[in-house]
Amino acid sequence: MADTRQQDHISRLKTEIEARLNWGESNSWNNYDFEKLAELVSEKTNIALSVSTLKRIFGKVNYQNVPSLTTLNTLARFIDYADWREFISSATAQSAIIEKNNVENTTKEKTSDEKQSEIIKAEPVVTDKKRKRFYLHLILSVLLIIVIAVSIFAFYRAHKKHPYHPNDFSFSSKTMLIEGVPNSVVFDYDASKAKEGDSVFIAQDWDVRRKVLVNKNDKHYSAIYYYPGYFKAKLIIGNEIIRQQDIQLRTNGWLGLIETDQSKVPLYFEKAEIIHDNEIAINEALLNKYKINFTPNLPETCLFNCGDFGEVSTDHFTFETEIKSNGSSNACRKVHVLLQSKDDVLVTPLASKGCIGDLFLYAYGFKTSSKTDDLSGFGTTLDQWTTLRIECRDHILTFFVNGKRAYSVPLQIKPSQIVGVEYRFVGCGAIRNAWIEGEKGKIMLR
């Protein structure tokens, strides 16, 4: 069990992280929030904390033990402290200042009659001279604490050393196919200089939870990828990310499939089965052909087009598409349209007008939901063709649904190249007239 003081420091740490992220109180965060936090912590500190660890810290999972010092050091570094000790020193100094201000405010609020009464009752009598001496000592104590905290910070910044240097290790990859999935990736690595007791892992994408233990004296590791996209594989030693490899798995035009868990083989459709005269579609006839059940839950289907879109950047582009959610058995129609860049993703929701109550929008670092925001502009009649248009000009992302502005938000992260589009349907769905345009012209997605 953590003692009261330790628990107070941890509570303050969580509050500062909540304030830094500006996602609202952590008791309202969902699993995606903790996955994103794990990614942000990893990018900032080069140390991987699991989603389960973060959930324990923020009280989403009942856990009574004290968090490890490694975890606390990592979270302190995430909010720009050298380590957990510096965070505690800073928190102590701030508490002393707050206490001093409270004392001064309480003193100011007292009436002259109250002060006179206290002077009469005091034994021995407290003179103005003694009172001034008391406050002088208090101020000097606070200043001393601040000086000590700054000194500790400077010392640890000056002497801080990472246990490993990336140049002592190698990490590269090659794909077996130029395009298409499933596709195998062979990772070549040299982790022979890892210290005894430190495990070596390879994480196959940005999610460091999906890491595989490898032998530090081996040289190769192979993995099968079942979904196209842009991935950031990592070589991890202990909890530290040492090296990173970008992997792009392309499609040959459009690819349709029924989604499963990432580690399982999805059902892929042939091109001829999804490409029709003027649309790309996964319809009921196709699902019936493969004897796909519509109960108790509708299947989740996807359309991908991942490859070379030219130099189309997230800070200057136009994307437009027409979408329809087919199928008589889908009462609450929902679609998600994803534009994947090399560094992040944009997830645009569309839903039947009566079903906009649980929408979630993620736009290259920005996120919001219909629980706390007005996303009614993304409500539409999805059993008819709906036009979605997304523009970014002057670092402002704007969404249009059937020609009407649905939402706008400033671009939150540095620009990167757009490399793929994905549609996620609940049940059947179709798209047509999809194109994307950057500074060098328009590309029809075929």
What does the pLDDT average to over 306-333?
87
The pLDDT of residue 111 is 47
- Which residue did the predictor score with more confidence, 248 or 308? 248
What does the pLDDT average to over 344-361?
93
The pLDDT of residue 22 is 80
pLDDT tops 80 at residue 16 = yes
Quick one: 63 and 138 in the same domain? no
Quick one: 284 and 211 in the same domain? no
pLDDT tops 50 at residue 123 = no
pLDDT tops 60 at residue 110 = no
What does the pLDDT average to over 243-250?
94
pLDDT tops 90 at residue 150 = no
Lowest mean pLDDT among 11-25, 191-205, 401-415: 11-25
Point out the domain boundary residue: 36, 54, 80: 80
Q: Which domain holds residue 217?
A: 166-249
Tell me: the pLDDT tens digits for 23-55?
Answer: 878 887 877 788 788 888 888 887 888 887 888
Quick one: 333 and 402 in the same domain? yes
Quick one: 264 and 409 in the same domain? yes
The pLDDT of residue 118 is 47
pTM here is: 0.66
Lowest mean pLDDT among 72-76, 262-266, 363-367: 262-266
Point out the domain boundary residue: 206, 225, 249: 249
Mean pLDDT value across the chain = 85
The pLDDT of residue 342 is 93
The pLDDT of residue 105 is 52
Number of domains in the chain: 4
Query: Which of 101-115, 119-133, 151-165, 290-304 shows the highest mean pLDDT?
Result: 290-304
Quick one: 193 and 342 in the same domain? no
pLDDT tops 60 at residue 112 = no
Quick one: 260 and 366 in the same domain? yes
| CATH number of the domain encompassing residue 349 | 2.60.120.200
pLDDT tops 60 at residue 104 = no
Report percent pLDDT > 90 for the chain: 50
Lowest mean pLDDT among 66-75, 228-237, 256-265, 298-307: 256-265
Quick one: 336 and 401 in the same domain? yes
pLDDT tops 50 at residue 159 = no
The pLDDT of residue 324 is 95
Classify burial at 95, counting beta carbons within 10 Å of its beta carbon; exposed 0-12, middle 13-18, buried 19 or more: middle
Quick one: 220 and 147 in the same domain? no
Quick one: 292 and 376 in the same domain? yes
Give residue 139's pLDDT band: very low, low, confident or very high (50, 70, 90). confident
Quick one: 260 and 365 in the same domain? yes
Quick one: 147 and 182 in the same domain? no
Quick one: 264 and 235 in the same domain? no
The pLDDT of residue 93 is 67
Point out the domain boundary residue: 219, 249, 279: 249
